[in-house]
Amino acid sequence: MITPLGLEDQLLSLVAAKEKPDLENKKNKLILESAQNKRQLKDIEDKILEVLSSSEGNILEDERAIEILSSSKVLSKEISKKQKIATSTEEEIDVTRNGYKPVAKHGSMLFFTISDLASIDPMYQYSLAWFINLYLQSISHSALANELDQRIEN
């Protein structure tokens, strides 16, 4: 069973993707890029640990170790810069997405109200897939508006 907060997040993603598809695509790319950056940092850490564990004698005399450490440092700085840019971009996207939060919150409340109707009579059982389809149709069929507040109202 889905939780109200989980459904709200899902509905927020759906409305944001419907209203601002470019922002939603950008957010998804940032998530993938962030995961890739974390994986690269993990690989760097693994290489450094491997060099440190396999080094014999004075590590400062091991050219391979020094080369790996310096290249790791450069790569780590590049990844850090990318992460800072990605974080600030993601915050900007989240501000825009959160403008649609009232729609998602209202949709979540509606779904759980409708699902509670089944306790009155089993005839009133509706699936989440049915509700999401109805939610997307209502977004598509609502009147367009230039102002966000008016669009949310519609």
Question: What's the pLDDT score for residue 40?
Answer: 85
* Digit-coded pLDDT (tens) for 25-75: 888 888 888 888 888 888 888 887 887 777 777 777 777 777 878 888 888
* Digit-coded pLDDT (tens) for 4-24: 999 999 999 899 889 888 888
Cα 32 to Cα 13, 87, 113, distances in angstroms: 16, 13, 35
Q: Of 61-65, 74-78, 99-103, 139-143, where does mean pLDDT reach its minimum?
A: 61-65
pTM metric for this prediction: 0.70
Closest CA to 80 of 23, 52, 41, 22: 41
pLDDT exceeds cutoff 90 at 105:
yes
Question: What's the pLDDT score for residue 82?
Answer: 83
What does the alpha-carbon distance between residue 24 and residue 14 come to, in Å, rounded to a whole number? 9
Give the distance between the most distant pair of CA atoms in the chain: 79
The neighbour count for residue 111, using CB atoms within 10 Å, is: 22
The neighbour count for residue 127, using CB atoms within 10 Å, is: 9
Q: For the chain, which residues make up each domain, given as ranges? A: 4-153
- Tell me the pLDDT band of 131, cut-offs 50, 70 and 90: very high
Mean pLDDT of the chain: 87
Residue 28, both tokens: 């998804």
pLDDT exceeds cutoff 80 at 126:
yes
- Tell me the pLDDT band of 115, cut-offs 50, 70 and 90: very high
Cα 22 to Cα 13, 117, 149, distances in angstroms: 12, 37, 20
Question: What's the pLDDT score for residue 3?
Answer: 92
